[in-house]
Chains A and B, each alone.
Chain A
Amino acid sequence: MSEARIQAGDLDESTRAALQRLILTLADTKRLMGLRYSDWVLGAPSIETGIAASSMSQDEWGHARLLYAMLKGFGVTPSVIEHERPAAAYASMDPLDGAFPDWAAVVAGMVVVDGAATTALEAFSRGRFAPAASRVPKMLAEEEFHASLGAAWYRRLAGAPEAVERLRAATEVMLPATLAWVGASDAAAAALADGGLTAAGPEILAAYRDRVRKLVAMAGVDVDAVAPAATWDPARGRGPGAPEEEVVERARGDRNRALLVE
């Protein structure tokens, strides 16, 4: 990719819209990932794991805040994006639409979903968009701990007869939509790759398969044999569904929004 860094204002209208979609789907994914981790602060297998889930939740929300802030350059008011959108407008990755039902699903989410977001961010940070080049590397450094914990737990559950089936099932449920998201190759994704703002979908998808291949194989999943989901919403850069209303209410902070004094 080119070394010349650019801002949103340097882009033509269609490429700017494509970049806005990418940033929003990354930000929404981080926001919901944080909520899904927070669900397990109490209820994780050990107090240490609960503390790690709490910390990872904070990391994800911090990343989301930084990504939402990037949208200022697009004429968007981040507070409106963060607090006033309906669930149907959220662009988070599909596997985060519903709660993780058990710890095996949380672990699969760390590897499959959080790993996909990290792969996408790695490509984004190497692109020409100046705010991504300056802000994303710190996110990636923090994500190394998420990846390490996810891998350690994945190995452990994959070796436990009572857990491996749940792990495999959760991984198989999450992978198709995740592959479609991380390897997006529609017109908007192509515009971003052509503009040097991130890598091409097939390249990111290949990097992602490399990232998870050995781990998910431990649960009996062949990532190369899983096809990306066929359904796609090009307006949001994700599948056609939407997060549960309950989690979006939490993401927006609806319950006590009236008490926020700004």
Chain B
Amino acid sequence: MDETTYDVFARKNRGDVLYHIGYVNAFDDDMAKVYAWKTYDEESWFEMCVVPRPAIIPVNRNQGPFAKSRGAAS
């Protein structure tokens, strides 16, 4: 089993938006949670979440700059 990349999101205060603050590579969700908490510990976070990158669903990959860059490459 290979590692999965997890994106890390956090907010400092209640009511703040969640910011993307980085990523970690981990074999499972439990490891990812610890890695994220221990790696991005420079702030006293109100909330932190990790999301496995494969769970992120692209919305506009066929439009705009994505399509233009694909066109330039072909």
Contacts and interface: CB of A to CB of B under 8 A. Distances in A.
Given A51-B39, A55-B41, A148 B27 contact: no
Contact of B35 (A51, A151, A155, A156): A51
A46 B38 CA distance: 14
B28 A156 contact: yes
Interface residues of A, number: 16
B25 A149 contact: no
Nearest to B36: A48
A46 B34 contact: no
A116 to B, nearest CB: 20
Interface in B5-35: 24-28, 30-31, 33-35
A215 B46 CA distance: 31
Contacts of B24: 48
A149 B3 contact: no
A145 interface: yes
A120 interface: no
Contacts of A52: 34-35, 38-39
A152 B36 CA distance: 14
A46 B39 contact: no
Contact of B34 (A54, A152, A155, A156): A152
Nearest to B27: A156
Contact of A48 (B26, B28, B41): B26
Contacts of B27: 152, 156
A232 interface: no
Nearest to B26: A48
A103 interface: no
B38 A145 contact: yes
A177 B22 CA distance: 41
A17 B38 CA distance: 37
A78 B67 CA distance: 66
Given A46-B3, A46-B25, A48-B24, A153 B38 contact: no
Interface string B31-69: 101110111010000000000000000000000000000
A145 to B, nearest CB: 5
A-B pairs, 7 with minimum CB distance:
A152-B30, A48-B35, A55-B38, A149-B34, A52-B38, A152-B31, A48-B24
Interface of A: 46, 48-49, 51-52, 54-56, 145, 148-149, 151-153, 155-156
27 contacts: A46-B3, A48-B24, A48-B25, A48-B26, A48-B35, A49-B35, A51-B35, A51-B38, A51-B39, A52-B34, A52-B35, A52-B38, A52-B39, A54-B38, A55-B38, A56-B38, A145-B37, A148-B30, A148-B33, A148-B34, A149-B34, A152-B27, A152-B30, A152-B31, A152-B34, A155-B28, A156-B28
Interface of B: 3, 24-28, 30-31, 33-35, 37-39, 41
Given A48-B35, A145-B38, A148-B30, 20 more contacts: A46-B3, A48-B24, A48-B31, A51-B35, A51-B38, A51-B39, A52-B34, A52-B35, A52-B38, A52-B39, A55-B38, A56-B38, A145-B37, A148-B33, A148-B34, A149-B34, A151-B30, A155-B28, A156-B28, A156-B31
